[in-house]
Amino acid sequence: MKKVMSAFLSILVLASSALLFESCGKSQPSAPPNSEVGLVFDVGGRGDKSFNDQAYRGLVMAKDSLGIKYQYIEPGGGSDRESALRQLANQKSIGLIFGVGFIFTDDINQVARAFPDKKFACIDYTYDSTKAVPKNVIPIEFRENEGSFLVGAIAGMMTKTNVVGFIGGMESPLIRKFQVGYQAGVRYVNPKCKVLVAYAGVTGDAFKNPAKGKELALAQYSQGADIIYHAAGVTGLGVFDAAREMKKYAIGVDMDQWNEAPGYVLTSMVKKGDVAVYDIIKEWKDGKFNGGKPRIFGLKDNGVDFVYDKENRPMIPEKVYEKVEQLRKEIIERKIKVPND
């Protein structure tokens, strides 16, 4: 019986250890208190080639440039977000903790109140002006609608069928910002263009279902869409499969997703989560952490953009690019107000 219990305890230790990773090897007991950074990924985890990978890139940038050490946790399906945050907060060496994704909002508030000596930041925090944000939390928001407006304008000018599509992951206020910004951009340059809209689901699982993404994309392509923009995390990888199969265009999100379907990715709306993570880490390291109010990254702040480089430049006519750059300027100058809902 003792041998069985011993083996069982060993398995539990290994399982819990497998949850926690570090960039620079095992954390040293002698690490100074509050000197390291922790991060809990969103649904899909590392390797999503999108939102989570952007956040991880920010950690690596901070390690290379600022010399920080970091740890991260992938909470599987996401149901154990709070316990993952607490696991990091309980470590004396960790002083700053990130939650990646709007689903973390309530959990990070709760854990931050339980650990007032720690600092927290939440990417895509769902900010509510009627509710107080803990002073040790920085809500990070992006103007995704602005970047989506620009790729929508590209789609609206380049469609040959006057039908384009949008596929979202979890139907939510955040993803609707991508949708309405895209729709506004399409219609600003091409009022006659129809925008098809579909969502993969209403829970976090909607961000990790490539088969569903492909199914939705094939349906939109069959309805005449020749360009589809996705904001669906791992689910969006299915959109690229459909684009290759149908020989149509897709627009990526969060990161440059050209490599997912070379020749079929017209552009990507880049949401610079890496810049946000790096900036917050630097401020924290410099003793300038300013919590309790949101930090917003838009076109003006270089927080969102679209890809136009040697890979996709031959696919986008120069006149289209020039028009989109003019729209960027007008948005920054507030001559164009992009809707977000």
Burial 4-16 (b: 16+ CB within 10 A, else e): eeeeeeeeeeeee
Q: Which residues neighbour 256 within 8 Å (Cβ) at sequence distance 6 or greater?
A: 268, 270, 307, 309
Model pLDDT, residue 79: 62
More confident: 97 or 14: 97
Q: Per residue in 115-151, pLDDT tens?
A: 999 999 999 999 988 899 999 999 999 999 999 999 9
Q: Per residue in 141-167, pLDDT tens?
A: 999 999 999 999 999 999 999 999 999
Local confidence band at 261 (pLDDT 50, 70, 90 cut-offs)? very high
Q: Which residues neighbour 56 within 8 Å (Cβ) at sequence distance 6 or greater?
A: 39, 41, 46, 72
Tally the residues of the chain: 341
Model pLDDT, residue 21: 44
Q: What is the mean pLDDT of the chain?
A: 90
**In whole angstroms, how far apart are CA 169 and each of 43, 59, 65, 150?**
11, 25, 34, 20
Model pLDDT, residue 77: 57
N-term to C-term CA, the chain: 61
Mean pLDDT of 295-318: 95
Domains, the chain, with CATH or none: 19-24+31-142+273-297 (3.40.50.2300), 144-271+308-332 (3.40.50.2300)
pLDDT higher than threshold 70 for residue 253: yes
Mean pLDDT of 288-311: 95
Local confidence band at 78 (pLDDT 50, 70, 90 cut-offs)? low
Mean pLDDT of 207-215: 96
Q: Considering the chain, what percentage of its residues have pLDDT values greater than 70?
A: 90
More confident: 5 or 150: 150
Q: Of 45-54, 113-122, 273-282, which range is least confident?
A: 45-54
pLDDT higher than threshold 60 for residue 340: yes
**In whole angstroms, how far apart are CA 41 and each of 20, 71, 72, 222, 284?**
11, 11, 7, 35, 20
